[in-house]
A and B are shown apart, each in its own frame.
Chain A
Amino acid sequence: MSSTKVEPSDRAFVRARVIASGAAVLVLGISYAYAPYVHDGPVVCLLRGLVGIPCPSCGLTRAFCALSHFELREALRYHALSPLLFAAVVATPFVAAYEVAMRRPVSRPWLFSSKLAWGLATLFLAHHVVRTAGWISDFSVLDGYLRDSWTYAVLTSLGLLPG
């Protein structure tokens, strides 16, 4: 019986794509299963927990949960860039399968593009500035976020702030 010899580099190439696909499927699965509980979940963001102001990626978990149930409008409300990232996660297993079949890393120019990185960073920056300004203007940063922070909870429990 003849067998095709797999070079170590080939094995690493396939393994990396299997791991990436597995991670993407896991993210999608967790997003779908966690959706009913996401609004009761704890604050896990260090910035939001300590300072009370959401970080640039805050809202992505809720947005991914909404998108996994095809609730686009809800997802946009939590994070306007979430459909872009969700599409990238959905595409990952397909791109990985294509790369393994073709034995060619077609996603490499995108993954290691400095221009794309700076473009995305600018998009994230603009998005975060606009939405933070919105939260400040309608006072939701005070009512919705500062009061949810760990710092506020500690100060309240010490009696330094009204509960």
Chain B
Amino acid sequence: MVDRANIPMFKNEPVLVLVLGFVSCGLYLIYWNIKMAEVINAVSGREVISQPIAILSGCCMPVNAYFYYLCGQSMDEVGKLTGKEKLADQAMLLLILGIFVPMVSAMIVQGHINELYEGRTV
């Protein structure tokens, strides 16, 4: 299993992802996607999401839906690390939300990723 200490730090308030996404006209989501792809790849211990392709996942349909589907699949590993087994079946939920409201999917993913850093000092 992946050591939590080796996972890159990317902790944000989920609501801030939504606000910054709108305020920056979607530019923040490009940054968010690159960083999240880095974290998801580290959590999975393999290259799951391509960072160059993740750039398009900020807003571009249907790439964003696929991005969140991959994030959902990786929630299994996140759940194992945080002790929350129920996270395993989130791929379909994140895929559907990713189609209609990608920023909500981003907030959900960010919320679960934040749990990885609980008790960890920056």
A and B assemble together: yes
A117 touches B101 (CB 8 A): no
Chain A residues numbered 119-136 whose CB sits less than 8 Å from any CB in chain B:
120-121, 124-125, 128-129, 132
Chain B residues, Cβ within 8 Å of A46: 59, 100-103
Listed stretches A6-14, A55-63, A70-78, A95-103; interface member: A55-63
CB-based nearest B residue for A54? B25
Q: Does A87 contact B (CB under 8 A)?
A: no
**B56 touches which one: A51, A54, A57 (CB < 8 A)?**
A57
**B30 touches which one: A56, A58, A60, A110 (CB < 8 A)?**
A56
**A124 touches which one: B47, B50, B55 (CB < 8 A)?**
B55
* Bound Cα distance A55, B30 (Å): 10
CB-based nearest B residue for A107? B50
A128 touches B27 (CB 8 A): yes
A57 touches B25 (CB 8 A): no
Chain B residues, Cβ within 8 Å of A128: 25-27
Q: Does B93 contact A (CB under 8 A)?
A: no
B55 touches A55 (CB 8 A): no
Q: Does B20 contact A (CB under 8 A)?
A: no
Q: Chain A contact residues: over half helix, strand or loop, or mixed?
A: helix
A117 touches B58 (CB 8 A): no
Given A55-B58, A57-B59, A60-B60, residue A47 in contact with residue B52 (CB < 8 A): no
B34 touches A121 (CB 8 A): yes
- Residue-wise interface mask of B (27-46) relative to A, using a CB-CB cutoff of 8 A (1 in contact, 0 not): 10111001001100100000
Chain B CB within 10 A, most for which of A47, A113, A124, A132: A47
B9 vs chain A, min Cβ distance (A): 16
A132 vs chain B, min Cβ distance (A): 6
Chain B residues, Cβ within 8 Å of A51: 22, 25
* Bound Cα distance A57, B26 (Å): 9
Interface residues of B (CB under 8 A from A): 21-22, 25-27, 29-31, 34, 37-38, 41, 47, 50-56, 58-61, 100-103
